[in-house]
Amino acid sequence: MFFGDGVVNNPESLLPKGGHELLWIGSLLLLNFILLSSVRLNNGRAYVHLFKLLNSTTHVDDRLKETYRLESFVNVGLLLNFLISQFVCAFYVSIDMIPLDWSISIISSALIVSWMFVMQSLLPRIIGWLIGESLPQRTILANTFVGFHFFGILFAFIGLVWYLNPQFKEQLSMIVIVLFNLMNLVRVIKNSIVVIGAGVSWYYIILYFCTLEILPLFVAYHYVEMNLGVDF
């Protein structure tokens, strides 16, 4: 302005940062904020109870009854937040690390998140059927849902940071992967303690861990590496 030729080309309209294709991600993140705010309004101590439940292992289902039930708005809102935020993070990671089209990344991320949620919710019944034992399924399911609630909040925060700062996508991809593995590790440890307390042998726990936790991840990693040429 002061040292140029005095000619300034102003754009006719302001363009949204990141392009029109990212507006729907912003809408999902806004929905996350609405859900988390609604949970806070519905139960002022919901997040305090959530942190306490995360640090508990046994009798989590009884403590859930004292704070918020599995069928309550707080539980439903936090589960929806978890599904949406994990989908956003999975989509971001797939775009960053795997050379796929947007439509394919959207479909694959949605399918993976849905499949993992259903499988992890049904694991207590699957394990009980495989080993022929009656397990404290409600406690195991409560531990699993508490993990979903807590890490869903973290995924929502990471998704918002990624949306506003896409230049840090490599670092954020690693953070998402670490959080995902940590979420599953916490779930396995807490539920293993519950199962051991119910008198189930270590043999069945190791068998379950190898077949239903490690094997699916190994198969998925091998498929991505062989067919998409991606080396994590």
Task: Give the pLDDT score at 63.
Answer: 61
Task: Give the pLDDT score at 122.
Answer: 77
Task: Give the pLDDT score at 37.
Answer: 93
Taking the C-alpha atoms of residue 204 and residue 220, their distance in angstroms, rounded to an integer, is: 23
Weakly modelled stretches of the chain, pLDDT under 50? 1-4, 8, 11, 13-18
Q: Does the reported pTM lie above 0.85?
A: no
Task: Give the pLDDT score at 57.
Answer: 63
Kindly report the number of other CB atoms within 10 A of residue 99's CB atom: 11
pLDDT in tens, 81-106: 999 999 999 999 888 777 667 788 88
Taking the C-alpha atoms of residue 172 and residue 159, their distance in angstroms, rounded to an integer, is: 9
Taking the C-alpha atoms of residue 65 and residue 56, their distance in angstroms, rounded to an integer, is: 14
Q: Please, what is the Cα angle at 169 between 165 and 172, to 5 degrees?
A: 95
Task: Give the pLDDT score at 4.
Answer: 47
pLDDT in tens, 142-151: 888 889 999 9
Task: Give the pLDDT score at 16.
Answer: 44
Task: Give the pLDDT score at 84.
Answer: 95
Taking the C-alpha atoms of residue 41 and residue 50, their distance in angstroms, rounded to an integer, is: 15
Task: Give the pLDDT score at 152.
Answer: 95
Q: Which tokens in the block code for residue 114?
A: 């849905």
Task: Give the pLDDT score at 8.
Answer: 47
Task: Give the pLDDT score at 115.
Answer: 83
- Of the chain, the percentage scoring pLDDT greater than 90 comes to 24
